[in-house]
Amino acid sequence: MCDRNNRKRKFSNVEAGDQSDIALPPSVNITRYAESRSQEIASLNLHVQTKTVNKMVLETLPKHMNRRAMSHDIRRWPRRLRQLVKKQYENQVNKRLRRPPSRKHRRRPNNLLAEYTRRKRKQVWLETHIWHAKRFHMTKKWGYHLAKEPTSKSTRRTYTSITKYCLLQDVSFLCCIEVSGLQSEITLGFSHLSSPATGPGIGAKCYLNGSREGSIVLYKYDQYPFDAVGLVTFFWKPVSTEDSISSQEPCDTAESENIRYLWLWCHPSCYNLLWQELVKVFQNVISTPEDKVFETVTDKTSDTPNVKTSDTPNIKTSSKPHRTKEKVSSKLSNGYSSGSAAKAGQVFLKSLKDKLVRFRLTGPLTLKVLGNAINVSSINKTSSDSPESPWWHSYFSSEDCLMSHETKGKLWQRLGEAYVPTELPQHWILGLTVLDPRFRLPSKKQRAEPSLEAHEVDQSIEASPELSTSPLWDEAIRTEVKKTKLSEQEFNKMISESVVPGYQLHLLDSSSRIPMLLIQRPGIQSLFQPCNSTFANPRLGNGCDIILPAGWGMAFWIALVYQGAQVGGLSEAYRTSLEVGELYFPFDYPDTEAGLDEMSVIKTNKLGVYMRRPPSKRPNFERLGIPVPFYTDYLSLVQELNKDLIQKFCVLRDRKKLIALSRLISSTNDSKLKISKHFVGDGFYKQAIVPVIVEMVSKGVPEHCSMICVPLKRDLVNLKSKKAAEVKEPLHKVKRGTKECEENKKTKPSRLFEDKLKTGTGQLLPLSSTSRKIIGFLTTGRYSFLKASGVGIGFCSVVGLQELLPNSKSIILVRSIKSLEYRYAKLSIIS
């Protein structure tokens, strides 16, 4: 160690001595010094510019200089690196161009609008389709592509919206049919499609002046109470008070009456059948042998209509009309399309399907949302009669029309400030002419809040035809309003050219004026609501519908959404009807063809889910004692209870009979039991079923196809004594005959059950095989936020209800198809 240290000291001393002996040169050759330094600088530059590692420019920067905006804006880079980055990007673009395009790029159409038009042909798109497709799960139903439910959670939000705020739904898929002709002939024709026992009909005096909307269930020609077509809402074109409305005595001459117009709104699932029945009834009742009953069918892809006349044969005139006829016949086979016009006698039918837009708003803040989004236009009286003048100059040229418009504007300002829909006249129709809502859009979405200030309800608002008149009835005005609409491109250009960003645009005098109809919906408020109804909230389900000309759907939709309306789809409408306690078409109308079609679709879907499960995870319905697991077999129910082979069943819709049944169920008087036996008696009541609401007493949530059963006496005793004993169905033994076993030795019992379930449209077991007698089924069942318990809607046989009459509290038993347990529930009749 010492030798090593000594050596280090010697070397350090030698180096120090050598440095002290070195002397600096007296002069420097500048030329030689510059040449040598230039060579060193060149070698350094070459070393710096030569890539030793393959790195991107971004990787050479420190982390604190990384910017996400550098990827699309080259000016975000440091100035010294911009040229390198630019060169790098060019190389990347050239490489991408050399690559073959991806499959997604190849599939994307060149013309996106043409691709949308092609996809609309089989399933019609609503005007708000693209808006919904980004936020909702879509489904194909009834010939339309509709929004089913939002991608976010919406079950509790739906109940909050209809009770505290406003729920918005696009129901433009509802089909409209315009019936025009003499009032006496129209009411005479509809008298063969309905019955006054079910409620006020189309010829009722309260509807003839056009100030209210009505609803009625229509039937096939002279088939009441069987073969229902569907639920229809209607309203007449308003008439002034001076016009004579002959509601009691029909006129004998056509000259003594004016032509009246009637709009019918129906569900698309029953639109085709309703059109056929209307043509049939007016052809049989009104037209004479000399009258020609014709029907014109126009295809959307062609302007050439096909005219079908009663006295002209089918002759091929040219190849082009023949191709159009083939297209129309294929659309008619779909079941959701029909003719565009038909005539019988003096009555003319015209289809307005997909030519009007209808939005539905539900909740106490409906009028506040509408008042903030919609502004009534101010129209000055002008004497301009030139053909280029807008339509409102000629329409409001008369003093009466202008005064009526000003009265509606003042009334609308009052309604939007403090009113709720329940404070308006029931089913009231208000006609308005409003401004383009895009000019009054807020800069950001607003939240609709209820007003805390108390206000006095004005009882002076009355439903009058003067307030219900609207230019929307005129087809020429609807066409002009659609054609003169300011396009989105022009509107966006006006926004970009505005001086102050975010400030509302100045409304021009030539801006569009849009006719609109507002229809009040009272919700569960009804003159025929039963006394023992389980739903007692008077404001639940109230709201308004607005009807607009085609082409203006998205403009008003965005305005309503920006004012705080919550949007819902078909599932939200279904939940709302259950909370309100109303029947939902077509699911809760089992005596219609549309209802039967929906039942078959539900059965197919549930059977598919059942078969996709492993055999060990499938419930054995024979062991559980479930006669019909996937659908509600009301025909077999009526046949079983009457011990007779009945070919048809019907739904009892006679208002007086329904109220009488509701009182009988809640009564305990023995004298009324005698009346009930006479009430059930003979006639079509043996074939009738009654709509009912079921509310669970304690536990349990009913489901679709759940059975409604009659409790035994000991079940009621246990309920009154509050014992914890549960009512259960004993397990059924599956008995197979020797002949059946011999024929199917190689087939498993589970396979036999599956084949029977797939192919058999009847029952797996007889309805009388259960320990508690089945008197009905549920078509709908969910948890109700209003009642904080399970609630269901279904139908019971009139004969089966006779056994419930001794029960003072109308207690029934409900059993799900996957359980053996019976749950106690209260039953009330929907009247």
* Assigned domain for 690 exists: yes
Whether 345 and 361 map to the same domain: the answer is: no
* Assigned domain for 116 exists: no
Whether 639 and 765 map to the same domain: the answer is: yes
Whether 163 and 206 map to the same domain: the answer is: no
| Cα–Cα distance measured from residue 365 to residue 166, given in angstroms and rounded to the nearest whole number | 5
Question: Mean pLDDT, to the nearest integer, of 429-453?
Answer: 85
Range of the domain at 201: 173-240+258-285+336-353
Range in 95-99, 280-284, 613-617, 639-643 the model is least confident about: 95-99
φ, ψ dihedrals at 53, nearest 5°: -130, 140
Whether 150 and 266 map to the same domain: the answer is: no
Whether 573 and 701 map to the same domain: the answer is: no
Whether 801 and 761 map to the same domain: the answer is: yes
* Assigned domain for 557 exists: yes
Whether 200 and 143 map to the same domain: the answer is: no
Whether 267 and 281 map to the same domain: the answer is: yes
Other Cβ atoms closer than 10 A to 340: 20
Strand-pair partners of 791: 695, 782
316's tokens: 């091929």
Whether pLDDT at 310 is above 70: no
What is the pLDDT, as a whole number, of residue 574? 92
Residues 114 and 136 sit within 8 Å (Cβ to Cβ): no
Name the DSSP letter for residue 33.
H
Whether pLDDT at 593 is above 90: yes
* Assigned domain for 500 exists: yes
User: How many domains is the chain partitioned into structurally?
Assistant: 4
Distances (CA, A) of 432 to 413, 475, 492: 12, 16, 27
Whether 270 and 399 map to the same domain: the answer is: no
Find the helix packing angle between 749-759 and 593-612, rounded to 10°: 160
Range in 41-50, 102-111, 428-437, 472-481 the model is least confident about: 102-111
Whether 569 and 653 map to the same domain: the answer is: no
Of the pLDDT bands very low, low, confident and very high (cuts 50, 70, 90), residue 400 is confident
The string of pLDDT tens digits covering residues 801-818 is 887 776 656 888 999 988
Whether 645 and 723 map to the same domain: the answer is: yes
Residues 665 and 812 sit within 8 Å (Cβ to Cβ): no
* Assigned domain for 96 exists: no
* Assigned domain for 196 exists: yes
* Assigned domain for 367 exists: yes
Residues 350 and 259 sit within 8 Å (Cβ to Cβ): no
Closest CA to 573 of 586, 560, 584, 559: 584
CATH number of the domain to which 262 belongs: 3.30.70.1400
Question: Mean pLDDT, to the nearest integer, of 355-368?
Answer: 93
Q: Residue 818 corresponds to which amino acid?
A: K
Domain termination residue (choose one: 39, 68, 90) = 90
The string of pLDDT tens digits covering residues 244-288 is 433 334 444 444 458 899 999 999 999 999 999 999 998 887 766
* Assigned domain for 269 exists: yes
Whether 220 and 84 map to the same domain: the answer is: no
